[in-house]
Amino acid sequence: MHTTHLVVETREIDPVEDLLAYADPARPLAWLRRGDGIVAVGEPLTELRPRPAAGTARTEALATVWRGISALAEISDPVGLPGTGLVAFGAFTFDEESAADSVLIVPTRVLGRHGHRFWETRIRLAADTGPAAGLASHPYGPHWAGTVGPGAQSPQGYQDSVRRALTRIGEES
């Protein structure tokens, strides 16, 4: 996939009541905050798990691969909001000794919201000549709903936990 370029098309759509309802229940990929964000819909296009060269951090290896893919992508994004255009969902392993991989997952479809604006992005390989037109012109796939409620911590407790974690990470570096 690293030498094949992507075609990315983002179009504004009618409001979507619950973005999370379109996430895959077996493998949800979502970034949401206060109702705004993005959700991957359907099967991923690809997963990127580059093996870093000796002495290279995993995040640096992923960043290099992502810059290469982004540079070759044909992007049509008249919406121009955070989360539109070419996106990937990431899981990063910060311990370089860990057996777990860092990964970027490029979805085939993304639904998003920013304020009162909604969009759909479709991502495909340029070699795939299947129709990319008709964005949001048909019902979305199987419906799944989840409820996200308040966390067990207060907002201040959460911020304190994040500060402690960042301090520990800084001490181990």
- Sequence spans of domains, the chain: 6-127+141-146
Write down the mean pLDDT value for the chain.
81
Task: Of 1-5, 62-66, 110-114, give the range with the top mean pLDDT.
Answer: 110-114
pLDDT of 141 strictly over 80: no
Q: What is the pLDDT of residues 76-104, one digit of tens each?
A: 999 999 999 999 998 888 777 778 888 88
pLDDT of 133 strictly over 80: no
What pTM value is reported for the model? 0.69
Number of H helices, E strands in the chain: 2, 7
Nearest-angstrom CA–CA distance, 113 and 123: 17
Q: What percent of the chain has pLDDT over 70?
A: 81
Nearest-angstrom CA–CA distance, 67 and 59: 12
User: Are 110 and 121 a contacting pair, CB within 8 Å?
Assistant: yes
pLDDT of 44 strictly over 90: no
User: Are 138 and 69 a contacting pair, CB within 8 Å?
Assistant: no
- Residue 107's CB is within 10 A of a number of other CB atoms, namely 23
